[in-house]
Structure 1
């Protein structure tokens, strides 16, 4: 029980001290976690757990939409992709369809991996601009 409490405190501190870029990465990872749990629930024929986890994934995508900066043209394209993924998750939920979940998982994984690369590039730029090379 004590370890669980320590882990929860660690997770909370991770979120509170994360940069906006790291928070976005956490959202992508959380979305993937919930999709995996929904896939498992479909295999186990646990409709309630499937629904809960798909809904959590949809909520994360809605949060990602709310963080888009429309000063950049790419944001409109990302909005369309997020909306598409949400609609596919709704369909997967209705149809208990693991293949649709797999499709969304692959899209989110691609977004997440790209975002990781952006964070690394930005850290290197920041490191170099601070004369720490």
Structure 2
């Protein structure tokens, strides 16, 4: 295993939940951007599908992390419902890119995940 992979694996294993969530957002964006870049290469199909599969799995994982406890205040439930919708939008756009090669849909997924990442970082920065 290369030093970089060991470092990367160690970062994943030893990170706190907030850092792991940020790492998932960043990796999701990385995979989607890699798919866009690889789409224009000659042997693109396998690498694009692999990157999009990873991005899709991350979006699903992020969605599953949402706290859907019924005891939460209505305002928090509204935010969670909005986030669920954003994750669904990103997932559907990734599926569209996979099945139809529609890179414009991938732009929407990237923007959606980027916005969620920035919002998450802002909430973390404020200590909420």
Normalising by the smaller structure, the TM-score range is 0.7 to 0.9
Identify unmatched segments of 5+ residues in structure 2: 70-75
Provide the C-alpha distance between the structure 2 equivalents of 1:55 and 1:81, rounded to a whole number of angstroms.
18
Q: Does 1:96 align with 2:101?
A: yes
| 1:111 match | 116
Question: 1:1-133 residue pairs with structure 2 within 5 A?
Answer: 5-45=2-42, 46-71=44-69, 72-73=76-77, 74-122=79-127
Q: Which 4+ runs in 1 deviate beyond 6 A?
A: none
Q: TM-score, normalised by structure 2?
A: 0.86
Identify unmatched segments of 5+ residues in structure 1: 126-133
Q: Which has the larger radius of gyration?
A: 1
SS of match in other structure, 1:37: helix
Q: Deviations over 1:33-75 (max 9, x none)?
A: 0001110121225111111111111000010011110134022
Aligned-pair distance for 1:77?
A: 2.1
Aligned-pair distance for 1:117?
A: 1.4
Give aligned pairs, total: 120
Pairwise CA RMSD: 1.6
Provide the C-alpha distance between the structure 1 equivalents of 2:3 and 2:65, rounded to a whole number of angstroms.
30
Q: TM-score, normalised by structure 1?
A: 0.83
